[in-house]
Structure 1
């Protein structure tokens, strides 16, 4: 993956992430075997619960006809055969490597199609420098992510469960391991179902991100030729915003008005995806996850950085993790408000076509989405 049509030496980025990433928690072989098997079982067990609570089904799901109490035929998803993609239980380095593959699949075709004059410098040194930045970022994030549904990797869509992070989290929050592992998988399998129920979604997001990437690349080329003082000022503003608590990241500082609007629309879709999964993972109730309320309470405190060193709080802001957490909460508020107005089946209209996705304005004004889609 080091041809001149790429801006990042992706193989080197994965190697850097593996070398500089923090090791996972210490555990015995028996504990690790139990962890891996427990996550695989939880991922499988989560599927029927997610299908039931969301009232969604994969677009290509097997269905069967059955008679209801009035004698009419109805269609029901055969939940035991619903295929939401592959499941892999991985370590931190493998998660990082999988993300370099997906990032390459999303970015390289876009960059290869740019006019040569609009491309940044593609020297070997430039690609290696970019690899160091990407690898370092992935190394930091690799200790934070519990699970990730990846629709952009090679082959089938895949759910990645990062075993050492799940183990570290359940230990730190003193949670019931079986409950917590299922709870995590309920969230991630909801993501899998979102993409399975709306097979156009992955392509839609890729197109939107590709368009933004083309614009941002042009801005980045201009920044690369800017005086050193301008580059230093960019980094300084980002750090200052992070310390103050503003939800900005370095890329926010180089976006123009049109690019910020594009990013806001992408962010709205991501807020929907994350908020929907957050609501559904709790909606299964205590009969499925007996300690769900305890898990949610302690997990929210962990998200808020309770007890974390100040440097970790600043780092979260620089990396944009606080903005990501805001997505979860904004999206969850949207989902709950829509359900209050039109119910869960009414909410599911959002997966029917791209035009039904909420706009950035509608995420904060769910009634506007209801009026537009259900008028």
Structure 2
């Protein structure tokens, strides 16, 4: 079967649905929009030197294989649709080859429409919340995106939050850019990581989608889990049971092999976010003069969320995701304390140096393994 004719997710419908449902954000004149976009580009550039000094990663000196994209809310949704399409492409091709002849055209149309609308609705909600992100995947499928991906900053959301918190715009924009540039530098320091992570996620999704029962529901579950991140969230209760991954509905669909893959992806995502949080903690007033005020006010935002937003966040697993990142931050902080930043940076050298999920909760074990490998 020609895999180009096989479609179980309507990507264009997802992007259009998100654009239709999401609000525009704060009102800005054309001149104000141009000023914000230009300033965010400057802040993104300025952040790189700070990330280099804090992490010691020389990859920060040359980021030419990726670029910075400043977007509005519909633009963020469309950019993420492109990323998800690239991430899901191997699984979709595998499914087309193995089961394409058994899935009729009508079923494809109905499934792709339902999944596209569902994905678009989730994107609409998230597009009003996300300040920025680093997308490593879109360039793997699209020629108009550099192979190294892109850093995406959502201008209206950044303006909205800086106004809400009454913080200094210059400082807040640099603070946001520092976090996302850290992710960009991580993937530049570990150019193998993009394909490694995509391969693991694709392997997991291929396994899930290959099972014959409730195929449509599994596709929507996979799409929903990816929409929250990489694959960061899914439909679930916010409090995972003991021993259960915080990646939601995907957790309920696992055999032993899937559990192993998901455990690895969880550890990698926790490492990436935990490392970025450690970098942010190293940002002091010499870099962002009002950083203490920003941290205090930004950290207290969750107390003011309405009941509907809290329910949606719980449904998408966003609070569980934050706990996952806290685990990563504790791991990186302890590992750096044990080994120093230079030795810790061996984590970016090859896949074998990545922590397991067990090591994520026992950084001493990981540090001993890395030290032993260096002595060998």
Q: TM-score range by the shorter chain?
A: 0.7 to 0.9
Q: Work out whether 1:222 is the aligned partner of 2:213.
A: yes
Separation of aligned partners in 2, 1:258 and 1:51 = 38
Aligned to 1:35: 36
Q: 1:98 aligns with which of 70, 79, 83?
A: 79
> Any unmatched runs of 5+ in structure 1?
62-78, 227-237
Q: 1:358 aligns with which of 321, 340, 355?
A: 355
Bigger radius of gyration among the two: 1
Separation of aligned partners in 1, 2:171 and 2:33 = 17
CA displacement 1:9-31 (0-9 Å, x = unmatched): 11111111111112212233343
Question: Scaled by the length of structure 2, what TM-score is found?
Answer: 0.84
8 Å contact kept, 2:63–2:185 = no
Aligned to 2:221: none
1:254 Cα offset (Å): 2.8
Aligned to 1:241: 237
Separation of aligned partners in 1, 2:91 and 2:126 = 25
Within 5 A, what are the aligned runs for 1:43-58?
43-58=44-59
| More deviation, 106-115/133-142 | 106-115
Within 5 A, what are the aligned runs for 1:316-331?
316-331=313-328
1:214 Cα offset (Å): 0.8
1:174 Cα offset (Å): 1.7
CA displacement 1:242-264 (0-9 Å, x = unmatched): 4x787563333333343233212
Aligned to 2:6: 5
CA displacement 1:119-168 (0-9 Å, x = unmatched): 86652121111111111111111111111111211331211100011111
How many residues align structurally?
A: 339
Kindly report the root-mean-square deviation, in angstroms, between the aligned alpha carbons of the 2 structures.
2.4
Aligned to 1:20: 21
Q: 1:200 aligns with which of 178, 189, 192?
A: 192
Within 5 A, what are the aligned runs for 1:240-319?
241-242=237-238, 249-302=248-301, 305-319=302-316
Aligned to 2:172: 180
Separation of aligned partners in 1, 2:176 and 2:68 = 13
Aligned to 1:128: 113
> Any unmatched runs of 5+ in structure 2?
218-233
1:269 Cα offset (Å): 0.3
Separation of aligned partners in 1, 2:235 and 2:346 = 41
8 Å contact kept, 2:73–2:128 = yes
